[in-house]
C-alpha cells in the first residue's frame, strides 16, 4: 500500500543552540518533532476556540441537566451514586 503524506512546505524555525546540538547528537528528526508540536498546538487552540464559541450552549445544557437530570437516566445500566 503506498504511503500518503501531506504536502510539506519549507519554513525557518529558530531554536536555541543547545537544543539544536542535543537533538542532532541524539539523531532526532527536528522537522517531525516541530510538525507534531505545531499540530498539537493547533488542535489545542481549536479546542479552546470551540469551547469559547459554544460556552453559552454548554452552560445552558449543564443548567438543564442540573434541573432535570440526565436524559434516560432510568435506563442507565451502570449507576454511580
Residue 33 domain-assigned (yes or no): yes
Please tell me the distance from the alpha carbon of residue 51 to that of residue 54, in angstroms, as a whole number. 5
Residue 60 domain-assigned (yes or no): yes
Residue 12 domain-assigned (yes or no): no
pTM surpassing 0.75? Answer: no
**Per-residue pLDDT tens over the stretch 38-81:** 999 999 999 999 999 999 999 999 999 999 988 888 887 876 76
Kindly state the DSSP code that residue 77 receives in the 8-state scheme: S
Our count of domains for the chain comes to 1
Kindly state the DSSP code that residue 78 receives in the 8-state scheme: S
Residue 80 domain-assigned (yes or no): no
The boundaries of the domain holding residue 51 are: 17-75
Alpha helices (H) in 1-81, listed in sequence order: 17-25, 30-53, 55-68
pLDDT at 18: 98
Kindly state the DSSP code that residue 35 receives in the 8-state scheme: H
Q: Cell match 512546505: residue? A: 9
Amino acid at each position: 500500500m503506498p504511503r500518503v503524506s501531506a504536502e510539506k512546505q519549507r519554513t525557518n524555525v529558530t531554536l536555541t543552540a543547545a537544543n539544536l546540538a542535543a537533538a542532532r547528537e541524539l539523531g532526532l528528526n527536528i522537522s517531525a518533532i516541530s510538525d507534531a508540536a505545531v499540530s498539537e498546538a493547533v488542535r489545542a487552540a481549536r479546542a479552546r476556540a470551540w469551547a469559547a464559541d459554544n460556552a453559552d450552549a454548554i452552560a445552558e445544557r449543564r443548567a438543564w441537566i442540573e434541573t432535570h437530570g440526565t436524559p434516560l437516566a432510568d435506563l442507565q445500566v451502570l449507576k454511580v451514586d
